Amino acid sequence: MTARRRLGSAQSATRALILDATQEIMIGEGYAAVSTRRVAAKAGIKPALVQYYFPAMDELLLALYRRGAENVLERQTQALASGRPLHALWEVSTDPARAALGIEFMALANHRKAIGAEIALFATRTRAVQAEALAQLLGGRLLDLADYPPEGLTLILAGIARALVMEQGIGMDFGHAQALELVGRWLRRLEPS
């Protein structure tokens, strides 16, 4: 058995620079534009250094996804602990940069099964946390959970947020103001100031 070569530290500034460059490329140009050479050029380093930290492209992409997922989990935890958790969750869901990166990863998942599996694990985990929080916040008090299952509500809110970002990305905004007002009204009803 051959020993795997040592990879750079997970906390190193160079690793973070590589991940930042990859994220910029994905958001600005799409996942198909990500290559070792493009990442190295964006980061201002040599391609060999990218390969030192991430010997395979899937390792780089998974590291970027996991970093983003941890950030979302942290923001979700803060949102759920806030005075207006539903409003805060909506803000997390509609963050354009996060949503744009998420859409790129969803598209990438069609071609890279390891990415798809990671996304499925993370999405299931976050949706379960959100559904549990919604059940505690709304159950019996504001909504009949039999009529409005929290798991479905989280999917609807996430889907609306994704649709808004995807359509804005292509310059479409028909119905956006009305959808935002509808969600805002619903959130204000459930979570008054």
Please give the structure tokens belonging to residue 18: 């590589």
Q: How many CB atoms lie within 10 A of CB 164?
A: 21
Residue 2: per-residue pLDDT: 42
Give the span between the Cα atoms of 61 and 106, in whole angstroms.
12
Residue 23: per-residue pLDDT: 96
Half-sphere exposure of 147 (CA within 13 A, CB side): 5
Continuous segment of H or E residues that includes residue 161: helix 150-169
Q: What does pTM read for this prediction?
A: 0.81
Residue 140's SS3 state is: coil
Q: What angle do CA 187, 193, 88 make, to 5 degrees?
A: 50
Residue 6: per-residue pLDDT: 47
Please give the structure tokens belonging to residue 102: 């998420």
Give the span between the Cα atoms of 132 and 103, in whole angstroms.
25
Model confidence over 133-166: pLDDT tens digits? 888 877 666 677 888 888 888 888 888 988 888 8
Give the mean model confidence (pLDDT) for residues 96-111: 87
CA 96 to chain centre: 10
Give the span between the Cα atoms of 94 and 164, in whole angstroms.
8
Half-sphere exposure of 155 (CA within 13 A, CB side): 6
